[in-house]
Amino acid sequence: MNGKIGTTQAAMLVASIILPTAVIVLPLSISSYAEQDSPLALLLSALAGLGIAAIVGTAIRHNKGAPFLDWIGEKSSPLIATILGLFMLQFYLDATSVILREFVNFIKDYVLINTPVTVMTLLIVFISIYIVRQGLEAIARVNILVILLFLFFVPLAIFGLSNEMNVHHLLPVFDHSLAELTLGSTASVALISEVSVLLFLAPYLKNPQKARIIGWTGILLFLGMMMFVLVLTLMVFGADLIKLSAYPGFLAISIVHIGNFVENLDILFISYWVLSFYLKFSIFLFVTVECFKQTFRVNSSKPFIGALGLVIALECLYTWQSSSKLNLYNKEGHFLVFYLFNVFVPLGALLLNRLHKSGSKRG
């Protein structure tokens, strides 16, 4: 687990962290407020995300890639670092269990309809535990292949849906107010703020001083991939029909039909999405383990990977077993919690660092 990853690998990890959830959540979430102006709302959220990435990258540049909680302990006290670590550990446990539940719900709805939820949950967790034990470098190498696979679907989807797309579904442009665009972008900004996992991946970066570039590149890569999915879905269905589907992106791919030899392309896209979601869940599990390691100052985190994975599985099964409860959290509480830990924590860390430097100068 001590292998270092390069700048390009890290940027691709950032994109893979955000994209899997965004594909199933954002088309419906953004279009509910911005309708045909959804691409503008996505651009607005990306601009906010670039600002968040700048904050996170600046914090990593100041701590020179050191473990985040250790750095906080040096600038304040070990007690404060431990308390913050406990809160962040709870946040990552909750966030990872929500990711797992969204993964399980989709598989239950679309693929393994008759398979018990418990069986799917434990299977996903056990596979992800194995992935995490291979280390971040192995995850990053596999992630490059998964990102490149996306390029295979782009021309196939465009060619297969060329007769179904209607550019007039994107008109009129600038038909919504700034307030509506802002409301439409809140969910996507919360997802993009997941770039803050770089705080705990920093010790594994070959060039931590390039953390801002890593964050910016990852967000721009995500923006390009997500914009393709969003515009394609809008051009096929229009904003009104998107609101009637739980997973409009997958529904758009499902109607691809090229002659008599290419059909039911949705199963290929779902298979790709499952791969990407395994990577996202594995990265969040890795970050949760790393947060645990820094909070309790243990030398090796491998003995705790299985235990934390099972805790996440239990929370997934018993806290989020109600789909309505999960939807309510994603709609009303998700972005507030993410802003608190993904934006204000690194911002507070920068402020703490500045105060510490000022105190040292006065001393």
Query: pLDDT tens digits for 131-182?
Result: 999 999 999 999 999 999 888 888 888 888 888 889 998 988 999 999 999 9
Per-residue model confidence (pLDDT) at position 157: 82
Query: How many residues comprise the chain?
Result: 363
CB 59 within 8 A of CB 251: no
Tens-digit pLDDT profile for residues 178-199: 999 998 898 899 999 999 999 9
Between helix 68-75 and helix 266-296 the angle, nearest 10°, is: 30
Per-residue model confidence (pLDDT) at position 315: 94
Per-residue model confidence (pLDDT) at position 43: 96
Amino acid 193 reads: S
Per-residue model confidence (pLDDT) at position 281: 96
Q: Tell me if residue 73 falls in helix, strand or coil.
A: helix
Share of the chain above pLDDT 70, in %: 95
Residue 322 backbone phi and psi in degrees, to 5: -90, 120
pLDDT band at 264 (very low <50, low <70, confident <90, very high): low
3-state secondary structure 87-123: HHHHHHHHHHHHHHHHHHHHHHHHCCCCCCHHHHHHH
Q: Which H or E element spans position 218?
A: helix 211-242
Residue owning tokens 């439409």:
184
Residue owning tokens 């539940």:
101
CB 118 within 8 A of CB 101: no
- How far is 24 from 13, CA to CA, in rounded Å? 19
Instruction: Give CA separation, 173 vs 34, 140, 169, in Å.
Output: 10, 39, 10
pTM above 0.85, yes or no: yes
Angle, alpha carbons 310-124-27 (nearest 5°): 115
Per-residue model confidence (pLDDT) at position 302: 85
- How far is 145 from 48, CA to CA, in rounded Å? 28
Average pLDDT, the chain: 90
pLDDT band at 360 (very low <50, low <70, confident <90, very high): low
